Amino acid sequence: MKERRIPFLIIIAIVLLAGFFAFFRIEREKVLIIENERDKTRTVVGVKSGEFAITFVHSIERTPVYEFYRINDDGTLTLKEARFYSLGTGLPFYADGGFKNEGGAFVVSMSRTLRQIPLRVSPVPGHAVLVDGRKIYFTDIAKTEDLLTISAGHRFKIKRLRGKE
């Protein structure tokens, strides 16, 4: 009796798994992990496009700055470009990868690979991360002057299939 029960349970498990995978798929998604060093909290943000930007208002020039990053398959981050709207203290004016004026913005092209990005939450409004059309202000997840560490990772998600693929 017991010998017949095991194959039956295996068949049931196979049928259930086949039914599950007929309607769902498991996908690997790139994520940003934002860790707050003060209170040891983590914010995990899915990044479908694999790219994101950090934006802030320069504390002296009072103009917006954008840094554009790519999440690499090995979990590193590559700073691809910095874009700003004035020249002054603390803003680059020379870059190995190229410096150009594009529609009123100064654009510095580069390729710098990083394991993580440490940053302090700015008291100047506008310090945020831009991910797939969403803007997440650092002051919504941390206090001014908190030290945040941004790194990349991945997670697995169950996605419902819509029609035939």
Residue 87's pLDDT band (cuts 50, 70, 90)? low
> What average pLDDT is seen over the chain?
86
- With respect to residue 147, please indicate whether it lies within any of the assigned structural domains: yes
Residue 150 has pLDDT above 90, yes or no: yes
CA distance 142 to 124: 14
Exposed, middle or buried, 60 (CB in 10 Å: 0-12/13-18/19+)?
Answer: exposed
Euclidean distance between the first and the last CA atom of the chain, given in angstroms as a whole number: 42
Structure confidence at residue 68 (pLDDT): 97
Residue 165's pLDDT band (cuts 50, 70, 90)? very low
Residue 1 has pLDDT above 60, yes or no: no
The answer to which of 66-70, 121-125, 149-153 has the lowest mean pLDDT is: 121-125
- With respect to residue 94, please indicate whether it lies within any of the assigned structural domains: yes
- With respect to residue 13, please indicate whether it lies within any of the assigned structural domains: no
Higher pLDDT, 46 or 5: 46
Question: Which runs of E-coded beta strand occur in the chain?
Answer: 24-36, 42-46, 51-57, 64-71, 77-84, 99-102, 105-114, 116-120, 128-131, 134-137, 147-160
CA distance 36 to 136: 14
Q: Which domain holds residue 140?
A: 27-160
Structure confidence at residue 60 (pLDDT): 65
- With respect to residue 54, please indicate whether it lies within any of the assigned structural domains: yes
Task: Dig out the tokens for 28 from the structure.
Answer: 């690997």
Angle at CA of residue 145, ends 148 and 111, nearest 5°: 45
- With respect to residue 16, please indicate whether it lies within any of the assigned structural domains: no
Residue 93 has pLDDT above 70, yes or no: no
- With respect to residue 135, please indicate whether it lies within any of the assigned structural domains: yes
Strand arrangement of the beta sheet that strand 147-160 belongs to: 42-46, 24-36, 147-160, 116-120
Looking at the DSSP bridge assignments, the partners of residue 28 are 156
Helix (H, G, I), strand (E, B) or coil at 90: coil
- With respect to residue 117, please indicate whether it lies within any of the assigned structural domains: yes
Residue 101 has pLDDT above 90, yes or no: no
Residue 92's pLDDT band (cuts 50, 70, 90)? low
Residue pair 153/31 in contact (Cβ under 8 Å)? The answer is yes
- With respect to residue 95, please indicate whether it lies within any of the assigned structural domains: yes
State the total domains in the chain: 1
The pLDDT tens digits of the residues spanning 27-85 come to 889 999 999 999 999 999 999 999 999 999 876 667 889 999 999 999 999 999 999 87
